[in-house]
Every structure is written in C-alpha cells, then in structure tokens.
C-alpha cells in the first residue's frame, strides 16, 4: 500500500502543480492549452540547469525564468495581438516541445536524453528519516499541499483572487471598478509560469534525473482536463489531477497483475481514458455549458 | 448661470469618437450638487457613452472634466472613483458566480486575507444599513434583476460616493420595482448624493428628476433644465427633434378595432402545462383571440406570461388542454408546423431568442422562409440578400449592408429586423412579447404603429408587456395573469385600479 501511495504522489505532484497554473489562468479568462509546452520547458530547464550549473537552486531559477518568458510571450500574443487563445496555447505547446529538443541538440550535439548527476533534494536528505518510506520523495512533493493551500487562499480568500476571477468572468465588471483585466491576466500567467516550472522540475528531477524529448507525454493536457473537471477550483482541480494519477498508478498495478492477459497499451492509456470520462462527467454534472445571456454587448469590452 | 462651486460636475467640450463616428460631440454641461438630474435622448444619442466617460471607463478624445472643482483625467476609473463618482450599469456589472459579499469585496475593501464568514458579516452590515434586503452569501446569478441592481447601487455607495450615475436603471425593472428604485433614489438625494439618471421614459423623468438634460445624436440639445414647467410634449419634441408631436399623436389613433369581427385566430382551451425550471406553469387557461384584435397581457413578471408564449410555440410540455389556430387543432403540431400555419413570434429576448447576433442580417431575415421548407431545401444567398435588402428597406431599418452581423445593430433596429421578418402577409397570429422593452420613444412608436397595422390587416395579436400604460394604449382587450392562471379579463374603458388589483390578486 505504501509503495502504491508513493507511486501516486510521484505521478500526481507534477500534474497538480501544472493544474494549479491552469486553474489560475482559467480564472483570469484564459484557456491555457500551453501548459504542456511550459511543463516541458520547466523539465528541460531544470535538467539543463543542473548539468550546466551544478546547483539545484540555479536550475529551478532557470526553469522558472524560461517558463515566465514563455508565459510573457503567451500573454503578449493573446492580450496585445488579440490572437485566439486556443491557437496561441497550442502554439506555445509546440514551441515548448520543439524548443526543448532544439536546445538539447544545440548544447549537446545530439537529441538523446540528458542525464543529470543528481535530482531535486529528497525529503530524507533535508529532514532526516522522520517520514519513513516517504523519505525518497522530492521536497517538491512535500511542498505541494502547501502550494495548493496557498493558491486556494490566493484565489478564494483575497481580493486579488476575486479581481482575477472577475477579469475572467466578466471583464467589464472588473474594468468598471478600476481593475485592469489585462494586467490581472498577466499576473495570473506569471504565477502559472512559476507553477509550470515546478511541475516540470518535479517530473524530470523529482524521482528521475533525466530529460528526454516529449517526456511530458500529454500531462499538460491532462492537467488542463483536470482544470475543467475540477471546475477551476484549486482544491477541486487538485482532486481531479490526483484522480488521474491514481488511475495511472492502478494501470501500472494492473500490468503487473495481469501480465500479458490485458494489452499493455490499454493500461497505459487508462489515465487518458479517465480524462475523457472526467470531462464528460463534469459537463453532465453542471448541465453542460449554459449560454450566458444579458452581457453580450459588454463581454468583450 | 449657477455659481460654479454649487456644481459637483462640470465638463467642457467633451468629444468621443469611435473611428469616424462621433458618439459625443462638444458636450459641455454642469450638474448642480444635491439634485436628481435626468439625462434623456433616443437610442444612440450618446447617453451611455456620456455616463461611461464621466465614470472614467471611456477616455474622451477631447475636452476636460472637473469633479468638485478638481480636474479629473479622462479614462481613469480609479481616479473617478476616488473623486466619488460611481456608475451603475444598465446590464449590471457584477460577476454572476460571485456571492454578493464577494462582488462587494472585489472592487473595494482591503487586500487582506478574509474568511468567508467575516466577509459575509462585514458586507451584510453595509447592505442592512442601506436597507437592501438580500443575504450577502447569495450568488449574484440567483438574484432577480431588481435585487442585482440594488446590490450594484450598494456597491457604488461603499466608498462614500458623492456623485452616482445610474445608466437606464428602469429598463430592466417592472413598474412596481421602478417605484421602489425611485424611493431609494430620493433617499440618496436626502443624504446628499447627487444622482444622474439616464432614462428612456418621459413619464419617469417627470416623476423623479429635478432637472433634465437632453442629448440628440451625440450633441447636447438642452443643458440641465428645471423640470418644473415642462410637459411630455415639450420634452419629446426636444428628444426627437422636429415632428415629434406628429409621432406621438398617433399613439391613440385607431384603437377601435374594425367592425368586421372574424372567427377566432387563436383558441386556447383549458391549457395546463407541466412545471419546469423556466417559469410558472399554466393552470387551466382558456383564451381566444379574434382576427383583427390585440389582446394585451398584463401581470407581474413571472406569473406565466412566458409560459403562455412557450406553450403556444410548442416549447413546453402540456399537461392538458388544446390549442387551436384558425380553427385547426395544433396541440400536437411542432413549432415549425405551427409557424407554417401562420404563427409568428416576436420573442422576449430579442438578442438571444430573436436574432443570431453572430449571423448576417440576410441569414436572420430569410430564416422564416427556410423554417417553413423541408430540411434539405437549398439556400439561395443571392436571392435572399436581395429580398432581405428590400424587405428591411420597407421597414426603415438602418444598416450598412445585409452581410452585416445582426449583433451590430442597435436595439431599435434589431427589433425592426424581427418585426419585418415576423409580420409578413401570412402572419395569422402574432405574439409580441415585450416588443418595446429598452427601445426609445421613436422606435417604440414604430412598433406600436406596426402592430396596429397588422391588426388592421386581420392578424390576431397577443401583446405582452410589463408597462401598463402601453398595454392600455394599444390593447382591444386585456387579460391578467397571476400565478399561471388567467384571473381577469377587461374591455375598454380600462380601469387601472381594477387591473392593478387583479395583478396582485387583491379583491376590490
């Protein structure tokens, strides 16, 4: 059981960080399909940082820097150039996936996976053995519940959170009390950038110490699904992301259990299938997307 | 002229341009402190633009403003709010998923972390003080419009506003709630707040305002004029410009229906519907409308008027009863079949139910024809464009070309598009649901005139409105709805007391 929980925490943590980034963007009115791209940039930045500087702290800073840069580009394209969010988000994902491959090849001369000598500090290394079997997890896993709580406070219990939400839900309402929706989206995307960097770092350097091409394998999109499934509430989205991770862990369990009886691709695909059902279920729960009436003329202002 | 220190707000030569269009042109006006000022004008006269300029939402391209003798930079909401200027919007600017307390907090209050309870308690106090009867934990989307409005007014008064602008506050209110709003406005005046009301209806202006300011086509026609000593005619002359009297005079003409009474166009027999989320269920409603008759439906909103329309249009499940159109039982017919038998609807929400805002005018206009054809009939864009063009011209719709999106039209013009589509020669029964809501007097008059003409051509008309004056003016017969039941039927001369009593279920 313990190892099961460890496996779940391992796969859930990166998802949750990225999901929170999606939540705050969604609140601000941005469908953030660039999560996948930012996540892999975070992963790549962390490993490159460790390899090139030999310091985890610098590596994390580097990852944050790149993700924030990506977020600024995204914000600029969406807010200033008025591009379609979905297209721009997918573009950002493409940029992240391609850009990281290019960066690895430019630095090391080969697109092969990059190995780092060490990863993120483990819980055991920092706090000693007080967490027992969980000591092998990275400190970002330990930090995760606090970040979730912090995001919940920020979004649901501060004025800034209300202003961000208002900017997404009814920009005109925000504008008419003197809040600049565009600036709120900037803030939301910057916070999201940092969260994506952490998610990517945990993915590449949490339990592994490696960066490989396309290693996010759709986790960014899965996070986005968790945002929708969780009704863009930080806690709800965290639960949704955990649910996907649990299904993934069960899939691996099932592989060990059934061996060759069940096609292994099907089991690997379980989290993705769960994602689709999750979205369908949440749409059912909320009675589908309702047309917003009465604000038509004001929406875009 | 008034001494300048008695003016809370002054502006000089304000001009706002969107591209080549001047929404406001050289407007200079001063508002005296502690009074209720009305700003009136037709749709597109620049009233809302003016309100938004004052509140700092729109930066004027030229001109200057002073509040309390201090210059105020244009286009800066924060500065405007700091100076005590607050604007309450026509479509309320409150995020629908927020609780009342959150809606208050996000625009005001401190940046501190709060708990849900403390937030609730804090804002409840504020609401109670202003006698707004609402729980601060309720969500905005669950509140009726008048409460939303009260909440927004309360929000505007958080920061000790000195100068409150209400942009068409009565457009969404029923007559009773309008009166309540006016009571509130008078209270505000008592407490020293200067109020600007952007209004549509002349009666309301004369009811409440101390002074009136008239805009026409983005220009100032009349700077604050004392309301004493002006009457409806004079005011409407200022608003419409020339030939206003002519227009208004028509409002009572021809209200006698043609002598040749024909058979019933609509015959509804003990109709009951199954209750659903959208409104009160009908309970044993029987009703006939003769050809060439306008039947007005009065009643406080939400008492089954909408359901009646939906029942006639086949959009609600019936429990029992029958609907006949022109003597034909159409109880089992689909909406499209009913349309092809001559049912026409001018729906409640013209921008949602009446038109597809993101489709072109010709598509919106020719849909009537295609709805009566088989599913796989061909669309002939060229023909339709031409037909639409001549059709809309006949109805005096102002548009640039037929490929323009329907959403780009002003309220009055959008309504005319619907009228021209629904009031064709084959129309037997026309349901006009709130056809004049939010329209200016010019457009309102046009709608009335069209309805009368359709009546004279032999259509039966079901006219639903929350404006009693309007119903009295236009109807040949009035029926009153209360809780899904038809509780009264009145013939001219109408007595407002009797009908009002029927509306609230009081016995006389």
Q: What is the pLDDT of residue B500?
A: 79
How long a stretch of residues is chain B? 508
Q: Strands of B36-40's sheet, edge to edge?
A: B85-88, B163-167, B194-199, B36-40, B211-216, B219-226
Question: What is the per-residue pLDDT across A256-287, written as a single tens digit (0 to 9) for each?
Answer: 888 777 787 887 788 788 888 877 877 776 64
Q: Does some domain include residue A70?
A: yes
Q: What is the pLDDT of residue B24?
A: 87
Q: Does some domain include residue A26?
A: yes
DSSP A148: H
Q: Could you tell me which residue, B396 or A195, shows the higher pLDDT?
A: A195
DSSP B158: T
pLDDT surpasses 90 at B302? no
Model confidence at B502, pLDDT cuts 50, 70, 90, reads: confident
pLDDT surpasses 60 at B2? no
Residue A163 has its nearest CB partner, among B80, B87, B106, at B106
If interface means Cβ-Cβ distance under 8 Å, which residues of chain B face chain A? 55-57, 76-78, 80-81, 87, 89, 91, 93-98, 102, 105-116, 349, 351-352, 357, 407
Model confidence at B242, pLDDT cuts 50, 70, 90, reads: low
Question: What is the per-residue pLDDT across B461-498, written as a single tens digit (0 to 9) for each?
Answer: 999 988 888 888 899 999 998 888 898 899 888 887 78
Q: In this complex, do A159 and B357 lie within 8 Å of one another by their Cβ atoms?
A: no
Q: Does some domain include residue A107?
A: yes
3-class DSSP state of B434: coil
Q: Does some domain include residue A106?
A: yes
Suggest the residue from B107, B122, B354 to mutate for an interface test with chain A (most A CBs closer than 10 A): B107
Residue B91 has its nearest CB partner, among A160, A162, A298, at A298
**List of chain B residues whose C-beta atoms are within 8 Å of the C-beta of residue A169:** 95-98
Over chain B, what is the mean pLDDT?
A: 84
Q: In this complex, do B108 and A177 lie within 8 Å of one another by their Cβ atoms?
A: yes
Q: Does some domain include residue A207?
A: yes
From residue B424, how far is each of B19, B143, B395 by CA, in Å? 37, 38, 11
Q: In this complex, do B107 and A177 lie within 8 Å of one another by their Cβ atoms?
A: yes
Q: How far apart are CA A283 and CA A296, in angstroms?
A: 23
Percent of chain B residues topping a pLDDT of 70: 93
A176 touches chain B (CB under 8 A): yes
Considering just the CA atoms, what is the radius of gyration of chain B in Å? Answer: 24
**List of chain A residues whose C-beta atoms are within 8 Å of the C-beta of residue B93:** 170, 172-173, 176-177, 298
Question: What is the per-residue pLDDT across B307-341, written as a single tens digit (0 to 9) for each?
Answer: 999 999 888 888 899 999 988 898 888 888 898 88
How long a stretch of residues is chain A? 301
Residue A178 has its nearest CB partner, among B81, B112, B351, at B81
Q: What is the pLDDT of residue B46?
A: 82
Q: Could you tell me which residue, A277 or B253, shows the higher pLDDT?
A: A277
- Closest to B217 (Cα-Cα) out of B389, B380, B50, B4: B50
Q: What's the rounded mean pLDDT across residues B426-430?
A: 90
Q: A297 burial class (0-12, 13-18, 19+ CB within 10 angstroms)?
A: middle
Q: What is the pLDDT of residue A55?
A: 92
Residue ranges of chain A with pLDDT lower than 70? Answer: 285-301
Closest Cα in chain A to B53: A176
Q: What's the rounded mean pLDDT across residues B253-274?
A: 69
Question: What is the per-residue pLDDT across B73-128, written as a single tens digit (0 to 9) for each?
Answer: 888 888 888 888 999 887 778 888 889 998 888 877 666 788 888 888 888 988 88
Closest Cα in chain A to B156: A177
Instruction: Count how many Cα atoms sit within 13 Å of the Cα of residue B403 in the half-sphere of its side chain.
Output: 2
Give residue A102's domain range: 13-215
Q: What is the pLDDT of residue B20?
A: 67
**List of chain B residues whose C-beta atoms are within 8 Å of the C-beta of residue A159:** 105-106, 109-112
User: Which helix (H) or strand (E) covers residue A271, if one does?
Assistant: helix A270-285
Q: Does some domain include residue A153?
A: yes
Task: Please check whether residue B201 is in contact with residue B125, taking contact to mean a CB–CB distance below 8 angstroms.
Answer: no
Q: How far apart are CA B292 and CA B259, in angstroms?
A: 9
ipTM for the assembly: 0.79
Q: What is the pLDDT of residue A297?
A: 34
Residue A162 has its nearest CB partner, among B78, B106, B116, at B106
Task: Please check whether residue A276 is in contact with residue A253, taking contact to mean a CB–CB distance below 8 angstroms.
Answer: no
Q: What is the pLDDT of residue B76?
A: 86
Q: How far apart are CA B258 and CA B262, in angstroms?
A: 10
Q: In this complex, do A173 and B97 lie within 8 Å of one another by their Cβ atoms?
A: no
- Closest to A189 (Cα-Cα) out of A71, A80, A82: A71
From residue B240, how far is each of B11, B50, B309, B394, B440 by CA, in Å? 24, 18, 33, 21, 10
Q: Could you tell me which residue, B246 or B216, shows the higher pLDDT?
A: B216
Count of the separate structural domains present in chain A: 1
Q: What is the pLDDT of residue B109?
A: 64
User: Which helix (H) or strand (E) covers residue A171, if one does?
Assistant: helix A171-176
Q: What is the pLDDT of residue B250?
A: 41
Q: How far apart are CA B26 and CA B40, in angstroms?
A: 17
Q: What is the pLDDT of residue A186?
A: 96
Q: A179 burial class (0-12, 13-18, 19+ CB within 10 angstroms)?
A: buried
């Amino acid at each position: 059981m313990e190892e099961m929980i460890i496996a779940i925490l391992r796969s859930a943590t990166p998802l949750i960080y990225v999901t929170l980034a999606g939540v705050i963007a969604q609140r601000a009115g941005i469908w953030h399909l660039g999560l996948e791209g930012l996540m892999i940039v975070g992963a790549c930045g962390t490993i490159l940082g460790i390899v090139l500087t030999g310091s985890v702290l610098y590596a994390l800073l580097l990852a944050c820097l790149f993700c924030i840069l990506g977020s600024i580009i995204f914000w600029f394209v969406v807010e200033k150039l008025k591009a379609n969010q979905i297209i721009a988000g997918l573009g950002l994902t493409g940029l992240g996936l391609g850009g990281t491959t290019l960066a690895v090849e430019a630095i090391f001369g080969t697109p092969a996976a990059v190995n780092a000598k060490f990863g993120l500090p483990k819980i055991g290394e920092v706090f000693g053995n007080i967490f027992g079997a969980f000591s092998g997890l990275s400190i970002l896993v330990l930090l995760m519940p606090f970040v979730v709580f912090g995001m919940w406070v920020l979004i649901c219990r501060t004025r800034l959170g209300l202003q961000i939400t208002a900017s997404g839900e009814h920009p005109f309402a925000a504008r008419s009390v003197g809040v600049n929706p565009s600036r709120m989206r900037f803030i939301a995307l910057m916070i999201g950038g940092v969260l994506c960097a952490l998610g990517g770092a945990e993915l590449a350097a949490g339990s592994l110490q490696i960066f490989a091409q396309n290693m996010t394998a759709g986790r960014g999109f899965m996070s986005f699904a968790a945002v929708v499934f969780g009704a863009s509430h930080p806690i709800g989205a965290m639960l949704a992301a955990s649910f996907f991770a649990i299904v993934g862990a069960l899939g691996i369990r099932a592989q060990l259990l059934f061996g060759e009886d069940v096609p292994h691709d099907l089991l690997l695909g379980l989290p993705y299938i769960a994602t689709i059902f999750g979205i369908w279920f949440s749409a059912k729960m909320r009675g589908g997307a309702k047309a917003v009436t009465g604000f038509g003329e004001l929406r875009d202002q | 002229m008034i001494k300048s220190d008695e003016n809370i707000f002054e502006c000089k030569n304000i001009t706002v341009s969107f591209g080549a269009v001047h929404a406001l042109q050289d407007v200079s006006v001063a508002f005296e402190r502690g009074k209720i000022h009305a700003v009136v004008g037709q749709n597109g006269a620049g009233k809302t633009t003016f309100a938004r300029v004052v509140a700092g939402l729109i930066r004027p391209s030229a001109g200057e403003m002073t509040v309390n003798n201090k210059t105020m930079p244009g286009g800066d909401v924060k500065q405007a709010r700091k100076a005590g200027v607050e604007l309450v919007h026509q479509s309320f600017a409150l995020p629908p998923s927020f609780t009342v307390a959150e809606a208050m907090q996000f625009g005001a209050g401190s940046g501190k972390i709060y708990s849900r309870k403390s937030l609730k308690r804090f804002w409840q106090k504020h609401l109670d003080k202003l006698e707004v009867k609402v729980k601060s934990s309720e969500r905005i989307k669950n509140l009726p419009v008048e409460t939303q409005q009260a909440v927004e007014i309360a929000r505007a008064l958080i920061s000790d506003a000195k100068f409150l602008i209400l942009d068409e506050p009565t457009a969404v209110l029923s007559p009773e709630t309008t009166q309540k709003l006016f009571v509130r406005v008078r209270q505000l005046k008592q407490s020293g707040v200067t109020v600007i009301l952007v209004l549509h209806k002349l009666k309301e202006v004369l009811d409440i305002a101390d002074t009136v300011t008239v805009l026409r086509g983005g220009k100032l026609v009349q700077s604050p004029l004392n309301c004493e000593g002006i009457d409806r005619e004079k005011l409407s002359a200022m608003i419409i410009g020339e030939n206003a009297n002519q227009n208004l005079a028509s409002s009572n003409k021809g209200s006698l229906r043609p002598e040749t009474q024909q058979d019933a166009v609509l015959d509804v027999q003990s109709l009951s519907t199954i209750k659903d989320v959208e409104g009160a269920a009908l309970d044993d409603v029987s009703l006939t409308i003769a050809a060439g008759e306008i039947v007005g439906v009065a009643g406080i909103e939400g008492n089954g008027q909408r359901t009646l329309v939906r029942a006639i249009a086949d959009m609600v499940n019936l429990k029992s009863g029958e609907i006949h159109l022109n003597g034909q039982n159409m109880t089992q017919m689909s909406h499209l079949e009913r349309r092809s038998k001559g049912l026409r609807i001018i729906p409640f929400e013209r921008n949602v139910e009446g038109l597809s805002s993101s489709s072109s005018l010709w598509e919106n206009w020719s849909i009537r024809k295609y709805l009566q054809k088989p599913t796989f009939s061909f669309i002939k864009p060229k023909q339709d464009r031409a037909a639409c063009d001549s059709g809309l011209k006949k109805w005096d719709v102002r548009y640039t070309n037929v490929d323009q999106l329907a959403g780009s039209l002003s309220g009055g013009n959008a309504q005319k598009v619907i009228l021209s589509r629904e009031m064709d020669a084959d129309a037997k029964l026309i349901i006009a649901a709130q056809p004049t809501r939010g329209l200016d007097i010019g457009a309102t008059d046009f709608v009335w005139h069209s309805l009368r003409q359709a009546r004279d051509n032999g259509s039966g008309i079901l006219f639903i409105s929350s404006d009693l004056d309007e119903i009295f003016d236009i109807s040949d017969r009035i029926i009153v709805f209360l809780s899904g039941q038809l509780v009264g039927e009145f013939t001219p001369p109408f007595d407002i007391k009797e009908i009002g009593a029927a509306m609230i279920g009081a016995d006389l």
